[in-house]
Amino acid sequence: MDQQYKFSQIEKKWQKYWNEEKIFKTSEDNNKEKYYVLEMFPYPSGKLHMGHVRNYSIGDVIARYLTMRGKNVLHPMGWDAFGLPAENAAIKNDIHPDIWTRKNIKEMREQLKMLGLSYDWDREVATCYPDYYKWMQWIFIQFFNKGLAYKKKNPVNWCPSCQTVLANEQVVDGFCERCHAAVEKKDLEQWYLRITEYADRLLDDLDLLAGWPDKVKTMQRNWIGKSEGAEVEFTIEGFDKTLKVFTTRPDTLFGVTYMVLAPEHPYVNELTREDEKKEIVAEFLERLQHLSDIERTSTTLEKEGIFTGRYAINPMTGKDVPIYIANYVLLDYGTGAIMGVPAHDQRDFEFARKYSLPIIPVVDPKDPNVDLLNLKEAFVAEGEMINSGSFNGISNRDAIKRITEYLEKKGLGTTTVNFRLRDWLISRQRYWGTPIPMLYCETCGWVPEKIENLPVLLPADVEFTGKGESPLTTSKSFIKAQCPQCGGIAHRETDTMDTFLDSSWYFLRYTDAKNIEEAWDKEKSDYWMPVDQYIGGVEHAILHLLYARFFNKFFFDMGYSPCAEPFSNLLTQGMVLKNGAKMSKSKGNVVSPEEIIKKYGADTARLFILFASPPEKELEWSDTGVEGSFRFLSRVYRLVFELKDEIEGASDNFTIESSRDKELNYVLNTAIKKVTEDLGSRFNFNTALSAIMILVNEIYKYKSETVINKALLRCAIKSLILILSPFTPHICEELWHYIGNRGTVYHEEWPLYDEDATVRDETEIAVQINGKVKDRIMLASGLPEADFLAEAMKNDIVKALVDGKNVIKTIPVPDKLINIVIK
RNA sequence: GCCGGAGUGGCGGAAUUGGCAGACGCACAGGACUUAAAAUCCUGCGAUCCUUACCGAUCGUACCGGUUCGAUCCCGGUCUCCGGCACCA
């Protein structure tokens, strides 16, 4: 071994060894307890960034540690490889997305390997490879067969100039972000997955996820947005259909003074009978079409409405109330129509003010500060019922129940639950995604491709213009096909799937990644699932994690997953910042992992990232901090290098011979304990590493003693290498071999600590008078409370401090402090 | 607006169950080694005050208050920052 810490040589050497010996290959083993560590797989952009390094370093420490603890660890990696950037590259550089993506995967795989991560590369998947998306298509067909995938016409954002559908995020102030043409709403047929069918279970089962951050669970709860209320039917004057509304406040029914329909509501056309009104309504609709959903639903947008000329009848009061259409009512929530209660809903209040509609309070706050006859804003809190006929005088909370019961008895309404969660629009007019394996036949309608014909391959003969519908429509070979049902002429769906589908089941595919007979073998998913620890960015808190949970529940129902929830524990790692801001090209504060690895080595990069901040917090990049990490590793290297001859041939068993021995043994065992606990339960890598640094400092001190205990020193060095190895594996392998061991530290057992050795003979005790520290004294450790108190009171300093005062109370905390309350 | 989370030295952070605030590291300062530099090693490093110095005193975990023998930790209020949702009836 070289006297210098030549990280580059060392890292290459051990990466080669791990690779050639297939050290990280895993298979099912019923004699061992399994542990599945998963990090969110990356999009293969071609360049690794610090966020990846952080994510994968965290996972690697966990995987390596648990392997050393004797667990059978599954730790896979793959590529979320479909997506728009590949298509943009195709348009810009005239390179096929497939070639571009494969090149990026190759480059990124090399970069990941440079980090020395303990992946079983034999399980690698890429969502864009036909052997993966074949099963994506199979899954889609399972959804379709169960009635959970369907095609529906719905208004979407359409840019007339680019001739393409736009995502809401691509619409800026009602205009296309690329060509600035006014975006229109267009009714298009799109594929949806019926995730709303699972809304209740997705909500309820969040309670099973004790190992998830509350923040993420709260975000999912809000996203699913369950609200309980009632559906109420209103009759319309001179109209044969009734108007249904959803409300969470049936107690305010007596306060309804108008009704509002969403502008797209199917009744709108029939309800506006007068020609004059029809014109105004048409003009209003035209104007709204130029607004995106984002603006339509913005609270800053002024409420605007049009009277239809019709009246509904309030079922409680029998009074006429005018029916409006207005921009603040959404078609796809509830029934697309609402009852207006200006006195008790702020939005209705503003609308009523603007159009001079009556405001009738029905809930009395019994608060002198609220003037019910002259409200300045809607009163939304609880109170006592007024102006509500026979319901007057009860609390509005009771009225919710009573009025709903009344409605149900009269056949005017029912209790209902509504979710903000909408069905998942999954079709995309893009090339680089999984083809939706459906065909349209004039006689049979939408028919799935036969399973034996899967995969439906992405055609090669397409043009990338960036315009029009899906590029698949330009393929001559793709569209025309035989109907799988009747054998007649059918045409293929040309839309592809949202890439979020591909990433909703990859964790299951990893359990049996190379299976060509089925998506995965149930026995294998039974063994490995659920994922014990999932690690990734908090930006996936809602979409990815919700979709993955949805898919897993679907498989669970099919018997293809053994668990109701796929990820038992979730760690959301914080962002990597430089100068207080997220690293980004435009800010020019990007630190390239490759350069850091070149300059200091992967071990240093890993060490810095793990040491500088706890994993779920933000991490501020510091060049001098990286140098500090490098210095530490050099120090460890030097330590072992210098001590090699000293500890060579020493016994594996030591006896404590001096107080210095005792102290080193104390620090050693404390360090092992601390690292074991920090890795085992909290993932506080920073404090674990700080314990290791303390150990290194102590060994340095110890080795300069005149008498040294070689066996003890040998044990300390061995343990040091082992407990550091999950963090910085390359240097540890090197040092492990240097002091005469064989094989890999990865297969070594995690060192045990001696609980007795983690206690010193004497402990420093803080002496407090009235809660303020006055002195510190040494007392034998582990004294029972009574002895501890007696010993502490015997001390001269205590006596002096207490002399001449009244001791009111003494509070002894053994091994910590004693507080003497005096007067 | 609503829902979360956070606020500790010059900086990143530690204090695991209400028990010695500032572990570990970075930066900085002084010293040793060196012809010199780098590297390495040693020492100091919250603020204010007292003192020639030693010793010591007071304050200090965003701010105000409370509970407690004792509060970074628990409770009430305020401020600031970050994140999510945002006309969901």
* Distance in angstroms: CA A608, C1' B16: 23
* Distance in angstroms: CA A676, C1' B73: 25
CB-strand contact A12/B, under 7 Å: no
The SS3 of residue A472 is: helix
**Mean pLDDT, range A48-53, rounded to an integer:** 94
The side-by-side arrangement of strands in the sheet containing A567-573 is A72-74, A34-39, A531-537, A567-573
- Number of Cβ within a 10 Å radius of residue A534: 25
Distance separating alpha carbons of residues A284 and A444, to the nearest angstrom: 40
CB-strand contact A256/B, under 7 Å: no
**Pairing state between β A581-582 and A772-780:** unpaired
User: A7-20 and A97-114 are packed helices; what angle lies between their axes, rounded to 10 degrees?
Assistant: 110
Distance separating alpha carbons of residues A592 and A599, to the nearest angstrom: 11
**Mean pLDDT, range A764-771, rounded to an integer:** 85
| Residue type (1 letter), A310 | R
CB-strand contact A175/B, under 7 Å: no
pLDDT > 70? residue A174: no
- Banded pLDDT at A809 (limits 50, 70, 90): confident
Map tokens 């005017």 to a residue. Answer: A412
Is A362 in contact with A372 (CB distance < 8 Å)? no
Which nucleotide is nearest, taking the CA of residue A303 and each C1'? B87
**Pairing state between β A226-236 and A413-419:** antiparallel
The SS3 of residue A189 is: strand
pLDDT > 90? residue A702: yes
* Distance in angstroms: CA A344, C1' B74: 37
**Mean pLDDT, range A232-247, rounded to an integer:** 94
| Phi, psi of A83, deg, nearest 5 | 150, 170
Is A364 in contact with A383 (CB distance < 8 Å)? yes
**Percentage of residues of chain A with pLDDT beyond 70:** 95
pLDDT > 80? residue A465: no
DSSP H or E segment with residue A536: strand A531-537
Lowest-pLDDT range, A188-197, A379-388, A715-724, A804-813?
A804-813
Which pLDDT belongs to residue A172?
57
pLDDT > 80? residue A783: yes
Paired tokens of A92: 């810009």
* pLDDT tens for each residue of A294-306: 566 566 677 889 9
Distance separating alpha carbons of residues A78 and A76, to the nearest angstrom: 7
CB-strand contact A223/B, under 7 Å: yes
The SS3 of residue A668 is: helix
Higher pLDDT: A807 or A407? It is: A407
Distance separating alpha carbons of residues A6 and A469, to the nearest angstrom: 55
Paired tokens of A445: 């309608």
Give the 3-state secondary structure of A125-182: EECCCHHHHHHHHHHHHHHHHCCCEEEEEEEEEEECCCCEEECHHHEECCEECCCCCE
Which nucleotide is nearest, taking the CA of residue A341 and each C1'? B89
In order, the DSSP letters of A675-694 are: HHHIIIII--HHHHHHHHHH
A487-521 CB burial, b ≥16 within 10 A, e <16: eeebebbbbbbbbbbbbbbbbbbbbbbeeeeebbe
pLDDT > 90? residue A184: no
Mean pLDDT, all residues of chain A: 90
Nearest residue to nucleotide B23, by CA–C1' distance, is: A690
Beta bridge partners of A309: none
The SS3 of residue A24 is: coil
Considering only residues 694-753 of chain A, list those whose CB is below 7 Å from strand B: 694, 697, 700-701
Q: Which of A422, A423, A518, A508 is nearest to A147 (CA)?
A: A423
Distance separating alpha carbons of residues A374 and A68, to the nearest angstrom: 72
Positive or negative torsion for Cα A330, A333, A334, A340: negative
* Distance in angstroms: CA A759, C1' B19: 18
Which pLDDT belongs to residue A276?
74
Which pLDDT belongs to residue A655?
92
Distance separating alpha carbons of residues A713 and A722, to the nearest angstrom: 14
Distance separating alpha carbons of residues A422 and A425, to the nearest angstrom: 9
Paired tokens of A602: 């992967």
Backbone Cα Rg of chain A: 34
Which pLDDT belongs to residue A675?
96
- Banded pLDDT at A279 (limits 50, 70, 90): confident
Nearest residue to nucleotide B20, by CA–C1' distance, is: A766
CB-strand contact A295/B, under 7 Å: no
Which pLDDT belongs to residue A64?
98
A145 exposure class (CB count in 10 Å sphere: 0-12, 13-18, 19+): exposed
Map tokens 């648990």 to a residue. Answer: A66
Considering only residues 384-443 of chain A, list those whose CB is below 7 Å from strand B: 418, 420
Which pLDDT belongs to residue A786?
83
Considering only residues 317-346 of chain A, list those whose CB is below 7 Å from strand B: 327-330, 333-334, 336, 338-339, 345
CB-strand contact A221/B, under 7 Å: no
* Distance in angstroms: CA A605, C1' B29: 29
Is A268 in contact with A281 (CB distance < 8 Å)? yes
* pLDDT tens for each residue of A249-273: 999 999 999 999 998 899 998 888 7
CB-strand contact A296/B, under 7 Å: yes
* pLDDT tens for each residue of A334-386: 999 999 999 999 999 999 999 999 999 999 988 777 888 888 889 888 889 99
Paired tokens of A90: 């195709």
Is A387 in contact with A341 (CB distance < 8 Å)? no
* pLDDT tens for each residue of A651-699: 888 999 998 999 999 999 999 999 999 999 889 999 999 999 999 999 9
In order, the DSSP letters of A259-310 are: EEE-TT-TTHHHH--SHHHHHHHHHHHHHHHTS-HHHHT-TTSPP-EEEEEE
A169 exposure class (CB count in 10 Å sphere: 0-12, 13-18, 19+): exposed
- For residue A554, how far is the Cα from the chain centroid? 20
Considering only residues 559-598 of chain A, list those whose CB is below 7 Å from strand B: none
Beta bridge partners of A582: A577
Is A20 in contact with A58 (CB distance < 8 Å)? no
pLDDT > 80? residue A274: no
CB-strand contact A811/B, under 7 Å: yes
Nearest residue to nucleotide B68, by CA–C1' distance, is: A771
Which nucleotide is nearest, taking the CA of residue A543 and each C1'? B84
Considering only residues 485-544 of chain A, list those whose CB is below 7 Å from strand B: 538, 541-542
- Give the global pTM: 0.93
* Distance in angstroms: CA A576, C1' B82: 14
Strand ranges in A553-615 using DSSP code E only, listed in sequence order: 567-573, 576-578, 581-582
Distance separating alpha carbons of residues A86 and A90, to the nearest angstrom: 6
Largest CA distance in chain A: 108
Which nucleotide is nearest, taking the CA of residue A214 and each C1'? B4
Which of A156-170, A323-337, A728-742, A781-795 has the largest mean confidence? A728-742
**Mean pLDDT, range A753-772, rounded to an integer:** 88
The span from the first CA to the last CA of chain A, in angstroms, equals 67
Q: What long-range pairs does A521-527 form, CB within 8 A, spacing at least 24?
A: A522/A559, A522/A560, A523/A28, A524/A28, A525/A560, A525/A561, A525/A562, A526/A562, A527/A28, A527/A30, A527/A34
CB-strand contact A347/B, under 7 Å: yes
Distance separating alpha carbons of residues A641 and A104, to the nearest angstrom: 40
Q: Which of A496, A501, A511, A499 is nearest to A551 (CA)?
A: A501
pLDDT > 90? residue A147: yes
Q: For A730, how many CA atoms within 13 A lie in the half-sphere containing its CB?
A: 29
- Number of Cβ within a 10 Å radius of residue A573: 26
| Residue type (1 letter), A23 | I
Paired tokens of A215: 């923040």
- Banded pLDDT at A436 (limits 50, 70, 90): very high
Is A595 in contact with A551 (CB distance < 8 Å)? no
Considering only residues 31-50 of chain A, list those whose CB is below 7 Å from strand B: none
Phi-psi region of A628 (alpha: psi -120 to 50; beta: other; left: phi over 0): alpha
Which nucleotide is nearest, taking the CA of residue A215 and each C1'? B4
Distance separating alpha carbons of residues A44 and A80, to the nearest angstrom: 7
The SS3 of residue A228 is: strand
Which nucleotide is nearest, taking the CA of residue A809 and each C1'? B69
